[in-house]
């Protein structure tokens, strides 16, 4: 992973980010010494989003199998949310 400073981007433009992503697959942008952003190509981003969705689906299936859910109307759901807020 390549670290790119905000000043490098300001001086050299997006080309410095393009080079870092092309070489390392992703880049971390730092601002005043702190990591602020991760930049990656959309193919990698979409893959990671798909992984998140797969995990959410797996967790949902596990909750259903364990009976960890509530059946209720929309009105009952809203009332329960307001009560627990």
- Residues 78 and 47 both lie in one domain: yes
Query: How many distinct structural domains can be found in the chain?
Result: 2
- Residues 19 and 36 both lie in one domain: yes
Identify the CA nearest to 25 among candidates 15, 10, 39: 39
The β-bridge partners of 38 are 28
- Residues 11 and 36 both lie in one domain: yes
pLDDT per position as a tens digit, 60-74:
999 999 999 999 999
- The band of 79, judged by pLDDT with boundaries at 50, 70 and 90, is very high
Q: What is the CATH number of the domain that holds 30?
A: 3.40.1620.10
- Residues 15 and 30 both lie in one domain: yes
For 21-55, b/e burial (b = at least 16 CB within 10 A) is beeeeebbbbeeeeeeeebbeeeeeeeeeeeeeee
- Residues 80 and 48 both lie in one domain: yes
Domain boundaries, position 76 = 43-84
State the pTM of this model: 0.70
pLDDT per position as a tens digit, 15-66:
999 999 999 999 999 999 999 999 999 999 999 999 999 999 999 999 999 9
């Amino acid at each position: 992973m390549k670290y790119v400073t905000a000043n490098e981007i300001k001086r050299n433009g997006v080309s410095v980010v393009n080079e870092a992503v092309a070489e390392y697959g992703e880049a971390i942008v730092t601002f005043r010494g702190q990591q602020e952003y991760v930049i990656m190509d959309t193919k990698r981003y979409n893959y990671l989003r798909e992984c998140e969705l797969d995990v959410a689906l797996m967790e949902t299936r596990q909750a259903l199998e364990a009976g960890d859910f509530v059946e209720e109307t929309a009105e009952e759901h809203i009332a329960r949310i307001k009560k627990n807020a």
